[in-house]
Every structure is written in structure tokens, then in C-alpha cells.
Structure 1
């Protein structure tokens, strides 16, 4: 019973204040869109993840700008990214996606912005528990947290791969259909041209006999 109570206390202590936003946005051609997140505490951890699910070459330009207009992260023609940085200033952070390089292609961008305030308190001392037991439970919780983060990243990766592969299949199917239509039109045109040439030869031969 004491072990269960201690484990509950550890879970409560290691639970950080996390608030975030996960969205899927359709970025039009020649469009630049920005999203904002307000950080209330200096030193908070900001996690930024994005992946281009469909459109064009599955790439996009991105940038992260702090409250003092300082560029924290930026990149060009990236397919996906997973970043964590420390917010050194309190204020509004700007996360932008730029598709101005594309003339016609629209991009479907899946992204997530999470702000985590890691305020870790001291573990309370329980009667009948040793520091070794507390340390073992603490390490177990940290391992579980790391494994959950790994599972979450793997799920995002496989989801992105699935969407991209499905987009490739749809593109290939559309090209095969268009090629079949063109091939059918060419066959009908060639058949009509052959009939016209044969009739022209026969009509010319009859005129020669007359």
C-alpha cells in the first residue's frame, strides 16, 4: 500500500504542465501562414513538430521567431522536422510555413506545438521507505516517459510514411488513367487515319482505270 501511495506521489510530482496544439493545415500555392503560441514562463521547453503529408515534392520552408524577432529555427525545402528548444524570453512565438516556392502545388502540413513547464518538486519522505526505493521508482517513471515519447515519434513517422505512400499511389493511378485515355485516343485516331488512307488509294486507283 505504501508503495502504491509513493508511486502516486511520484506521478503527481513528475507530471509537468503541458499545453499544446496539433493541427492539419492546407497550405495553398504561393502562401505563407504563421501560427502563434504564447509562453508564460521563462525557461519553458517548446516542442515543434511538422510533416508535409501531401502535395508537390512533400517539402516546405519553415521558421520559428521569438518575441524579440530573433530567428530561433529556420529551414528550406524540408519534408518534416522535430525540434525542442528552450524559451529564453516570455512572450509570443511565431511558427511560419512558406509555400511561395510552389506555383500550383498545395501542401497538406501536419504540425504540433507544445509548451511544457518542467517544475519538478522535491520528493516527500515517507516513513518506512529508503532513498534507494525512491530512486528505483524515479528511474522507472523516467524510462516509461522516454518509451512513450519514442512510441509517439514512431507513430508520427509511420503516419507520415503512410500518407506519402498513399499520395504516391494516387498520383501513379492518375497517371496510368491519363495515359490509358491518351493511348485510346491515339488508337482511334490511327484507325481513322488508316481508313482514310486506304479509301484514298482505292479512289485513286478507280480514277486511273476510268
Structure 2
């Protein structure tokens, strides 16, 4: 399957990749921009997936084989970049995958600056340079964007850790029940053997 994302600066997505399937997504990019992509396998046996990032002309830029997570940044040209998650190596287990896209130098900030210059002129600056105001705004914007990114990644790590803990809890319970069953069977066999031994002694005395 395939999907296309709108040209937003920051977006994230979580989806389920069935066993034996390959899912691809498309992201339109501009020349001299930057595309950063981070992914994590949150749930599924092995916590691994194959990942591939391709340029608009079909050239493979990144290929990860059986990885649980990855972070990649590429300088882009005009066109649609395709990235794919491949679970065809698994015949049984589906995978829950989280990924985040961060786009830089896509042109929106330049447009914002032009809009500011239209409405803020002369004495309205109150002796402050327009460049200083824009620099402060861009700095705050970058920090807020980074904070949102970190919070999103922390939530993804938390989800993966929770899935691992739940899986380990189920395994512990299963093997505890198996051990309990084995102990009960062994105890029953021992009691039966002791009982048979005493009965044989009584018969030999008579």
C-alpha cells in the first residue's frame, strides 16, 4: 500500500503492518530542503522491520535490514520521496510502527518574514530591528518544535517499553503455570511410587 503526507513541517503516524506486507509512504519535498525521518517498532515479535528510503528518481538513499529503530536525515531535491516499511520476512507476526517526519527549509518561514515586513515598518519597531524580532520568533519556534518532537519520541519509547513489559509478563505467567504443572505431575508420580512401594512390602510380608 501507499500514502501521501501533506507538506507540513512536522508530522507523526502510528500504524499496524500485517505479516507478509510492505507499506510505502510519499512525501513531496523542495530543492535544498531537509527531510528527517525517525521510526520505531513499538510492538510485534522481534521488534524489527526492513526500512527503505528512495529519492524521486528511484535511487535507494537508505536501507535498514531487520532494525527496531532508526533516524535518517537527507538533503532533498524537488519531487516525491518514498519510504517503505517491509514485514514480508515475517509470516505470522504483525508489527506496530511509529514514525515522525521533520521538514526543514520548506519555504514557509521565508513567507512569514515577508508578511512581517509588510505590516511592521519605521517607528512601529520601537527602535528594534526587524531582524532581531524575527530571529527571536524563529528561535522560540525552533525550541517549541524541538520540545514537541522530544515529547512525541518519549511517548513512543514509553509505548514500546509498555508492550515489552506486557509481553514479558505474559511469558512469565505462562512458564510459571508450566512449572507449576510439572511440579504437580512430579509430586503425583512420587506419591504413586511411594504408595506402590509400601503396598509391595505389605504383600511380601503376607
TM bucket (normalised to shorter chain) is 0.7 to 0.9
**Root mean square deviation, CA, Å:** 2.7
- What's the offset of the Cα at 1:171? 1.9
Count of aligned pairs: 192
Deviations, residues 49-96 of structure 1 (Å, cap 9, x unaligned) = 322112234332211112211112222233333444333132x32210
Q: State whether structure 2 residue 90 is matched by structure 1 residue 95.
A: no
Distance 1:79 1:156 in 2: 17
The equivalent residue for 2:21 is 31
Q: What is the Cα deviation at residue 164 of structure 1?
A: 2.0
Check whether the contact 1:66–1:72 (CA below 8 A) recurs between aligned residues.
Answer: yes
- Structure 1, unaligned runs of 5 or more: 1-16
**Segment drifting more, 92-101 vs 172-181:** 92-101
Q: Deviation string for 1:105-140 (max 9, x for gaps)?
A: 332101234656315144346021378521221121
CA deviations on 1:158-178 (whole Å, 9 max, x unpaired) are 112211221222122112211
Residue number in structure 2 paired with 1:3 = none
Structure with more relative contact order (C-alpha pairs < 8 Å, separation 6 or more): 1
Superposition pairs of residues 60-209 of structure 1, within 5 angstroms: 60-90=49-79, 92-113=80-101, 117-119=106-108, 120-121=110-111, 122=114, 123-124=117-118, 126-128=121-123, 129=125, 132-209=128-205
- Name the CA shift for 1:141/1:81 in 2 (closer, same or farther; >3 Å): farther
- How far apart are residue 43 of structure 1 and its match? 4.0
C-alpha distance in 1 between matches for 2:190 and 2:91 = 42
The 3 A distance-change label for structure 1 pair 174 and 108 is same
